[in-house]
Structure 1
Amino acid sequence: MCGIVGAVAQRNITPILLEGLKRLEYRGYDSCGIALHVNGQLQRSRSTSRVAELQAQVEQSGLSGFTGIAHTRWATHGVPSSANAHPHFSRDRIALVHNGIIENHEELRTELKALGYVFESQTDTEVIAHLVDHLYQGDLFETVQQAVKRLRGAYAIAVFCRDEPHRVIGARQGSPLIVGVGKGENFLASDAMALAGTTDQIIYLEEGDVVDLQLQRCWIVDVHGKAVEREVRTVHAHSGAAELGPYRHYMQKEIFEQPRAIGDTLEGVTSIMPELFGDKAYGVFKQIDSVLILACGTSYYAGLTAKYWLESIAKIPVNVEIASEYRYRDSVPNSNSLVVTISQSGETADTLAALKHARSLGMQHTLTICNVSTSAMVRECVLSYITRAGIEVGVASTKAFTTQLVALFLLTLTLAQSKGRLSDVDEAEHIKALRHLPLAVSAVLALEPQIIAWSEEFARKENALFLGRGLHYPIALEGALKLKEISYIHAEAYPAGELKHGPLALVTKEMPVVTVAPNDALIEKLKSNLQEVRARGGELFVFADADSHITSSEGVHVIRLPEHYGQLSAILHVVPLQLLAYHTALARGTDVDKPRNLAKSVTVE
């Protein structure tokens, strides 16, 4: 969600800024812009189209410079428009870009209007630009330190001044921002991937940091204004992973990358041991008596799935909380609980805030399941397991979800072992099943032609119902989410046993009912639920295991998965739901990788 790139150099930085924006497109945006210091003046170009259009505008105008900032915006305050697009100027002296939300912007806007400032946008960001201009007395670094003390909310900002060439100032609070260190040049970005190919020397700014970038130096002060040294890390951000290759969309590519991603996530796992989660894991796991999972969106559904595993296999009580709700309600803390956060990016604002809230309540045993080893979430938690899904460009998560499930299953086994509830025989069987998982997922992907046929029917619908029972209810939730995210079909998911408690009233021949039907202990109960749908004229689309004895008939369409996979069945059953959503969206002609109103990395509340 929103992307920042900034640079000071002795060469034309326009191509670097634009390439950085392209690498951040996967985060989601609805406008973009660039501003440069050109011959003692500020010049900019903004677009409500894609970065490619912005690049064409820049090339046509010949815009170039040695100091500048660029931005992709996901609208919060104000509609997507050129006037609301970043960078924002103040009196043609200050140029500024911003990720996050400023909660006291109305109060500051009133104050600044009284001082004579004229606002050209509806954004909270323009308030910061005018505030910096108002406070400016010749030193931009000192000015930004003063300005951020007036801000309430979350922000990452990059700003430069007409009167101070070769200087860019950055600041962060609650939103990620990194520094790229070069030779005789320095850079800012919201993600190291934006600087891939430019520099691999990265500094991760801490909460409250303000940084002064000049040609030969990078000066950082902390939230108290004290000069600090931050570690310079070598980070290899793989830009090549964002190449589409032979696939039509990144989402399709990422669905088919799941066997590889799962295999990579399991690389080196030959036995179950606490050290998989960090050096301190053995001591932590011995102390804990329950688990609290905090997550949002798809990661939340991964957590719901893990609850079934943890309580069934490890016999540990589990609470799963939507992160944005947990931090704002009164809860009963348990200092012996393991707080598990799940996040693809490791920068999810609500989940980070929920983690900090849990810690403030005295819960210090923390672990994250995350796809980015250098993220804030990993740095904030005592323990971690890094999934190896690779870069996920499509907004609708696929391989990140299945690798999260793999990591959570490993956590389940490890906690079961720590509590003396995992025999050597069971451990060996579970490891064997995990090792076979990439091949099993590949077999499910081979069902794509059958799913394409279904998608043509779904593309004509406006509503859909998803059903699952037990472990597969969260998978039904994830399937419904995928369909609504990218095809814009209204979809809901319910435990199948809840049909007669309300949702059955929605069932007609125009409401397709997608059912996750593994051959487990609940299969006979599920068959009864399917009969309830058929008796009301509903049309069933069933993903069944090979031996579940559910047959195709009038109004009942069945696709059989190659095998039943026990506790890991959930990972197999989500794959055809991903394919169904993808091909339905394709048939409806939506923007599959960048669905409307959504962003990949949600770094604001």
Structure 2
Amino acid sequence: MCGIIGYIGDSEARPRLVAGLQRLEYRGYDSAGIALADEELSVFKQAGTVGDLDLPVETPQTCGIGHTRWSTHGKPTDANAHPHTDCSGRVAVVHNGIIANYDELRETLPDHRFRSETDTEVVAHLVEAELEAGVDLRAAVAAVVDRIEGSYALGVVAAGYDGIVAARRNSPLVVGHGADGNFIASDVTPLLEHTRSVSYLEDGDVAHLTRDGVTVHQDGALVDRAVTTVEWDADAAEKGGYDHYMLKEIHEQPTALRQAIAGRIDPIEGRVELDDLSLSDDFLAGIDEVQFVACGTSYHACMYGKQLLEELADVRATVEFASEYDVGSGRDPERTLVVGVSQSGETADTLRALRTASRSGIRTLGVTNTVGSTMARECDDVVYIRAGPEIGVAATKTFASQVVVLALFALTVAERRSELDATVGRELVEHLQDLPGAVQGALDRDDAIEEVAVAYAAGEAFFFIGRRFGNPVALEGALKLKEISYDHAEGFPAGELKHGPLALVTEGTPVLAILTDGTRPEETRNNVKEVQSRGAPVIALTGAGQDGDYEVGFEVPELGLLEPLVANVYLQLFAYHVADDKGRAIDRPRNLAKSVTVE
């Protein structure tokens, strides 16, 4: 939810911390700050963006921590900005997560003076008390985290103490091993310009970073955390000449889709070879139910995947909001599979759902974009979507990549259960291979979509409708528009319009209708006539050769069950240009953060 960066080495810390925070602003951007430590502690923080920080020109310190905040406890004010310090001003703490028992912990510190409304500040005072008892900084932090309930990724420095101490539980934290020093960060994006050698801390780890190296302890014992190489390069996390990360990532979808299917389809046989899926044939043949758990955009991808799985593999599938998931009764754990989908692999609600399933003896599969993430480490099996870094808060290329990987999964399950119709399977594989080109065709019409978006940007509200595979795309299209434009937008199964929402339709309500193959377009056209008779303009995404009387129409090439994914690109661009026309902060929409790592 918030972004953490830390550096200790041979170079000046301040520019590394500031640059790192700027790369992390998609995780939070309502306040920011840094703490620089040597024999004294210097703290600079305030409400606003990283660029608003008032910093001195020269700062010789080579050790420090930084934070960019997405508020959970306390409003975005200077006082509530991180880092937080103790009474003496010698300890500084940055934190991502929620300390559930901070009120109780504060009551144990009656003589300490608190300056903020945050849960985090209690950590600084607890560390102060431990240091006064004569222990070193690592031991002090280890003692404090033993008392914390909730979730945390912590970075701690103290004047007169060597290095940075970091700890995590249920919030991500990465260690970067560089040539001129060592780093901590909430994810790899701020590390790429300095190093691609990283290790991922695990729950309960307490790491001590010095100029000479990194040591990690768990329960007081020294442990090794493998150093891995990040395949992404620094350029992948830059805007590349686009005005916004979101627009860049929309246009990266053909590449992301090719990466998602690369090496997973036999080009000669036209068969899926999802080799990274290690679930046995016997297990897949014997499952009674697949439960998908996810949040937001990933939930919509799961809706698409559920329908593919049921149609192709003849297995019962359900989709549940991860925050609402419980195992329930009447299920055989040995014949159930729970599939968690999360771009970051760190979504707190989804991780909780997966852990609930695992405790019940149900096998878990993670579908994620992030190697080394908590989901990847904790699930029984994992499949990566390979979309590359996604910086924009509103997910775009990862939605399409998630659906493609779930399609590959559905084909694999269907084949191993001997349920796959050869003709249907071959056609879907061909369409998967053609999908990147079809998406590029939609992107090539960006100027036309922009013209339509600007023309309708003043709409009072926006409705998105579709059936079958068009339903999750309608929901996703509405989510994108409200995320970045702040306009009221709703997605509906098209047939539900007449059961209440039609009362809201006026001449000022543009309706975006998905009428492609795989969406029962002949039925949805009746709903289109209903809204048009009430004066609403219709922007239609149609299959090739379809007739219809619409205010605006965009035709999607023949791609069978994947046509709605191409329609989705038009909806993404529409949302982007509406928001851009209104001058919104597209990459940093208000109140939102990229990775929701608190429940």
Is the shorter-chain TM-score for this pair beyond 0.5, marking a shared fold?
yes
- Pick one of 142, 156, 159 that aligns with 1:162: 159
Structure-2 change in CA distance of 1:446 and 1:567 (3 Å): same
- Pick one of 469, 489, 492 that aligns with 1:491: 489
Q: For 2:179 and 2:253, locate their aligned partners in 1 and report how far apart those are by CA, in whole Å.
A: 39
Q: For 2:10 and 2:444, locate their aligned partners in 1 and report how far apart those are by CA, in whole Å.
A: 53
Question: Structure 1 counterpart of 2:324, which letter?
Answer: E
Whether contact under 8 Å (1:333, 1:361) holds in the other structure is no
Whether contact under 8 Å (2:556, 2:566) holds in the other structure is no
Q: For 1:64 and 1:58, locate their aligned partners in 2 and report how far apart those are by CA, in whole Å.
A: 13
Q: For 1:231 and 1:34, locate their aligned partners in 2 and report how far apart those are by CA, in whole Å.
A: 29
For each residue in 1:287-321, what CA deviation from the matched residue of structure 2 results, as whole angstroms up to 9, or x when unmatched? Answer: 42321111110000000111111111111110111
Structure-2 change in CA distance of 1:497 and 1:403 (3 Å): same
For each residue in 1:413-466, what CA deviation from the matched residue of structure 2 results, as whole angstroms up to 9, or x when unmatched? Answer: 111101111244443322221111111111122232332222123321231111
Q: For 1:497 and 1:273, locate their aligned partners in 2 and report how far apart those are by CA, in whole Å.
A: 35
Q: Which segment drifts farther, 309-318 or 191-200? A: 191-200
For residues 477-488 of structure 1, the aligned pairs below 5 Å read 477-488=475-486
Q: What secondary structure sits across from 1:390 in the alignment?
A: coil
Q: Which segment drifts farther, 11-20 or 260-269? A: 11-20
Q: Which segment drifts farther, 269-278 or 392-401? A: 269-278
For residues 151-230 of structure 1, the aligned pairs below 5 Å read 151-164=148-161, 166-182=162-178, 185-222=181-218, 224-230=219-225
Q: Pairwise CA RMSD of aligned residues?
A: 1.9
How many equivalent pairs are there? Answer: 591
For each residue in 1:42-99, what CA deviation from the matched residue of structure 2 results, as whole angstroms up to 9, or x when unmatched? Answer: 1011132332333xx3243x23302211111111111112111111110212111000
For residues 549-568 of structure 1, the aligned pairs below 5 Å read 549-552=547-550, 557-568=551-562
Q: For 2:540 and 2:246, locate their aligned partners in 1 and report how far apart those are by CA, in whole Å.
A: 23
For each residue in 1:14-40, what CA deviation from the matched residue of structure 2 results, as whole angstroms up to 9, or x when unmatched? Answer: 2222222122223332111110114x2
For each residue in 1:483-505, what CA deviation from the matched residue of structure 2 results, as whole angstroms up to 9, or x when unmatched? Answer: 10000001111111111211111
1:27 correspondence with 2:27: yes
Aligned equivalent of 1:234:
229
Aligned equivalent of 1:323:
322
How far did 1:133 drift?
Answer: 1.1
Whether contact under 8 Å (1:546, 1:560) holds in the other structure is no
Whether contact under 8 Å (2:301, 2:472) holds in the other structure is yes
Q: For 2:12 and 2:442, locate their aligned partners in 1 and report how far apart those are by CA, in whole Å.
A: 49
Q: For 1:591 and 1:524, locate their aligned partners in 2 and report how far apart those are by CA, in whole Å.
A: 38
Whether contact under 8 Å (2:171, 2:346) holds in the other structure is yes
- Pick one of 261, 264, 268 that aligns with 2:263: 268
Q: What secondary structure sits across from 1:276 in the alignment?
A: coil
1:597 correspondence with 2:587: no
Structure-2 change in CA distance of 1:225 and 1:126 (3 Å): same
How far did 1:393 drift?
Answer: 1.3
Q: What secondary structure sits across from 2:299 in the alignment?
A: helix
Structure-2 change in CA distance of 1:183 and 1:475 (3 Å): closer
Q: For 1:452 and 1:200, locate their aligned partners in 2 and report how far apart those are by CA, in whole Å.
A: 38
Structure 2's unaligned 5+ residue stretches are none
Q: What secondary structure sits across from 2:413 in the alignment?
A: helix
For residues 43-192 of structure 1, the aligned pairs below 5 Å read 43-54=42-53, 57-60=54-57, 62-90=58-86, 91-112=88-109, 114=110, 116-136=111-131, 137-138=133-134, 139-164=136-161, 166-182=162-178, 185-192=181-188
Q: For 1:63 and 1:384, locate their aligned partners in 2 and report how far apart those are by CA, in whole Å.
A: 44
Question: Structure 1 counterpart of 2:593, which letter?
Answer: A
For residues 215-364 of structure 1, the aligned pairs below 5 Å read 215-222=211-218, 224-271=219-266, 272-273=271-272, 275-327=274-326, 330=328, 332-335=330-333, 336-364=335-363
Q: Which segment drifts farther, 567-576 or 373-382? A: 373-382
Q: What secondary structure sits across from 2:207 in the alignment?
A: strand
Question: Structure 2 counterpart of 1:106, which letter?
Answer: D
For each residue in 1:221-274, what CA deviation from the matched residue of structure 2 results, as whole angstroms up to 9, or x when unmatched? Answer: 21x332222212233442211222232211111111111111121111233456
Structure 1's unaligned 5+ residue stretches are none
Whether contact under 8 Å (1:298, 1:401) holds in the other structure is yes
Structure-2 change in CA distance of 1:527 and 1:286 (3 Å): same
Structure-2 change in CA distance of 1:58 and 1:331 (3 Å): farther
Question: Structure 2 counterpart of 1:337, which letter?
Answer: T
Q: What secondary structure sits across from 2:469 in the alignment?
A: helix
How far did 1:322 drift?
Answer: 0.7
Whether contact under 8 Å (2:67, 2:94) holds in the other structure is yes
Q: For 1:143 and 1:10, locate their aligned partners in 2 and report how far apart those are by CA, in whole Å.
A: 25
Whether contact under 8 Å (2:556, 2:563) holds in the other structure is no
How far did 1:278 drift?
Answer: 2.9
Q: Which segment drifts farther, 283-292 or 139-148? A: 283-292
For each residue in 1:479-524, what CA deviation from the matched residue of structure 2 results, as whole angstroms up to 9, or x when unmatched? Answer: 0000100000011111111112111111111222221111457222
Question: Structure 2 counterpart of 1:238, which letter?
Answer: D
Whether contact under 8 Å (2:8, 2:210) holds in the other structure is yes
Q: For 1:49 and 1:474, locate their aligned partners in 2 and report how far apart those are by CA, in whole Å.
A: 35
How far did 1:400 drift?
Answer: 0.6
Structure-2 change in CA distance of 1:477 and 1:530 (3 Å): same
1:541 correspondence with 2:568: no
Structure-2 change in CA distance of 1:470 and 1:7 (3 Å): same
How far did 1:334 drift?
Answer: 3.4
Question: Structure 2 counterpart of 1:31, which letter?
Answer: S
Q: For 2:463 and 2:474, locate their aligned partners in 1 and report how far apart those are by CA, in whole Å.
A: 9
Q: For 1:220 and 1:242, locate their aligned partners in 2 and report how far apart those are by CA, in whole Å.
A: 29
Q: For 1:186 and 1:229, locate their aligned partners in 2 and report how far apart those are by CA, in whole Å.
A: 16
